[in-house]
């Protein structure tokens, strides 16, 4: 039976070009102290401090592995067991077909869901999804478990003449939701509410919502937000309004931003240098938008084109892509979590399939497989508390 590696082997802290081999006696791979540069040292210390103070805000962006919210919910649950429930995190603007959030459900009457994967010519903010209301449309967002009163930040854009939106929360509180300026640009509105909340539109011909950031009003505990789109690739962030998503990240102020891409890039046989340039560009933009955030790259997991032979057939460029991700983590001083190592290394997917931990497509995992991986990721993050 495939066993997960010691959790500390899955988290690699990298500065400049110094790399400690995975066979190092130190389970958390790190360079000599003299090579630590102030930039990364400052940000890793901030993550450690947030963990120690039991109030950490984590945002993961990725493809279908993130959009399913199984891995991220397992990580969220583990962190909240240890640090306290900081809130359910990000809620997509309305239910989108094929996507799931473990902590939210929706009742939609008249709101149109749009995704930057299939509708490229819209004005998107962070996450690449929007919801647009028809006249008189209503949308109810429910928490799947009992939550305390929440502080909500909404990304919203409206045009001249658009009506304000009206919200009623579980306590009957009435809240007016509108953009700071109705200029067709993205703005942010903040309010406190008890879920469920119901949003009612009037005459809103230019209004769009990009998402809801939901966190306990006392700002304690762990928050782990999952922003994923099925089939997505990192270069498709170019379909988002660059200024808008960077402004949103600045407002949200995550302690840690996790980038979980690579499966689709490898499967689609993309040019690895092009993928690298997209990753470098995104890291630079995140650091400009949210200077205090640490960044973690999740290495692409083992995946298969088919299951023939003893190990199956990997996408031709998967190994090259994984090596590139690791190299970028080294050069850009980011955290790196080796997803494939957490599975048991190369040639592990068929074993995961046989154990019921991965699906027969050789790409996706079962809920139990994602839960195992999410627990490993959360434990790796928690292990940072006492290292710095």
pLDDT for res 358: 97
| DSSP per-residue string spanning 173-200 | -EEEE--SS-SSS-EEEEEEEPSSEEEE
Please tell me the pTM assigned to this model: 0.91
Please write the tens of the pLDDT for every residue from 295-312. 999 999 999 999 999 999
Closest CA to 369 of 361, 377, 359, 360: 359
**Cα separation values, 83 from 56, 87, 243, Å:** 9, 12, 33
pLDDT for res 388: 59
Q: What is the mean pLDDT of the chain?
A: 90
Please write the tens of the pLDDT for every residue from 110-128. 999 999 999 999 999 999 9
pLDDT for res 41: 63
Residue 132 near residue 210, CB atoms below 8 Å: no
Residue 218 near residue 188, CB atoms below 8 Å: no
Q: Is the pLDDT of residue 326 over 70?
A: yes
- What average pLDDT does range 380-387 have in this prediction? 88
Q: Is the pLDDT of residue 10 over 80?
A: no
User: Measured at the alpha carbon of residue 246, what is the angle toward residues 187 and 42, in degrees to the nearest 5?
Assistant: 125
Residue 336 near residue 30, CB atoms below 8 Å: no
**Cα separation values, 168 from 190, 207, 299, Å:** 14, 19, 42
Partners of 209 in the β-ladder = 131, 156
Residue 255 gets which letter from DSSP?
Answer: S
Tell whether the torsion through CA atoms of 100, 104, 105 and 111 is positive or negative: negative
Q: Is the pLDDT of residue 67 over 70?
A: yes
pLDDT-wise least confident of 1-10, 220-229, 270-279: 1-10
Question: Going from the N-terminus, what domains does the chain have, and what CATH number goes with each?
Answer: 1-86+220-388 (3.40.50.1110), 92-219 (2.60.120.1360)
Please write the tens of the pLDDT for every residue from 168-202. 999 999 999 999 999 999 999 999 999 999 999 99
Number of residues assigned to the chain: 388
Partners of 226 in the β-ladder = 60
Looking only at the bridges linking them, the beta strands covering 11-13 and 335-337 are antiparallel
Q: Is the pLDDT of residue 387 over 80?
A: no
pLDDT for res 45: 86
What is the residue whose two structure tokens read 């996408």? 315
pLDDT for res 19: 33
Neighbours of 69 (CB within 10 A): 26
- Counting residues of the chain whose pLDDT is more than 90, the rounded percentage is 86
Please write the tens of the pLDDT for every residue from 16-52. 332 322 322 222 233 223 222 334 567 888 899 999 9
Residue 294 near residue 257, CB atoms below 8 Å: yes
Residue 163 near residue 202, CB atoms below 8 Å: yes
């Amino acid at each position: 039976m495939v066993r997960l590696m010691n959790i500390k082997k899955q988290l690699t802290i990298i500065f400049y070009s110094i790399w400690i081999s995975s066979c190092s006696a130190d389970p958390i791979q790190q360079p000599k102290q003299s090579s630590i540069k102030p930039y990364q040292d400052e940000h890793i210390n901030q993550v450690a401090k947030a963990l120690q103070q039991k109030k950490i805000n984590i945002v993961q962006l990725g493809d279908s592995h993130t959009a399913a919210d199984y891995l991220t919910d397992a990580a969220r649950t583990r962190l909240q067991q240890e640090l306290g429930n900081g809130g359910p995190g990000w809620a997509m603007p309305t239910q989108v077909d094929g996507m799931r959030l473990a902590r939210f459900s929706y009742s939609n009457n008249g709101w149109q869901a749009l995704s930057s994967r299939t509708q490229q010519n819209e004005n998107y903010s962070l996450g690449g999804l929007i919801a647009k209301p028809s006249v008189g449309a209503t949308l109810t967002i429910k928490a799947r478990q009992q939550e305390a009163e929440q502080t909500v930040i909404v990304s919203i854009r409206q045009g001249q003449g658009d009506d304000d939106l009206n919200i009623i929360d579980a306590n009957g509180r009435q809240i007016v939701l509108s953009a700071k300026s109705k200029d067709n640009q993205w703005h942010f509105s903040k309010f406190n509410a008890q879920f469920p909340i119901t949003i009612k539109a009037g005459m809103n011909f230019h209004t769009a919502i990009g998402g809801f950031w939901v966190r306990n009003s006392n700002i304690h505990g762990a928050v782990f937000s999952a922003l994923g789109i099925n089939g997505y690739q990192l270069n498709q962030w170019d379909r988002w309004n660059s200024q808008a998503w960077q402004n949103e990240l600045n407002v949200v102020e995550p302690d840690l931003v996790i980038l979980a891409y690579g499966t689709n890039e490898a499967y689609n046989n993309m040019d690895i240098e092009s993928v690298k340039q997209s990753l470098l560009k995104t890291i630079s933009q995140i650091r400009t938008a949210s200077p205090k955030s640490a960044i973690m790259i999740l290495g692409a997991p083992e995946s298969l084109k088919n299951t023939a032979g003893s190990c199956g057939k990997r996408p031709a460029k998967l190994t090259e892509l994984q090596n590139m991700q690791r190299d970028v983590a080294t050069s850009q001083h980011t955290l790196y979590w080796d997803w494939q190592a957490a599975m048991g290394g190369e040639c592990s997917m068929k074993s995961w399939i046989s154990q019921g931990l991965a699906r027969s497509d050789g790409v996706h995992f079962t809920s139990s497989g994602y839960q195992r991986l999410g627990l490993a990721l959360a434990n790796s993050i928690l292990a940072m508390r006492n290292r710095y």
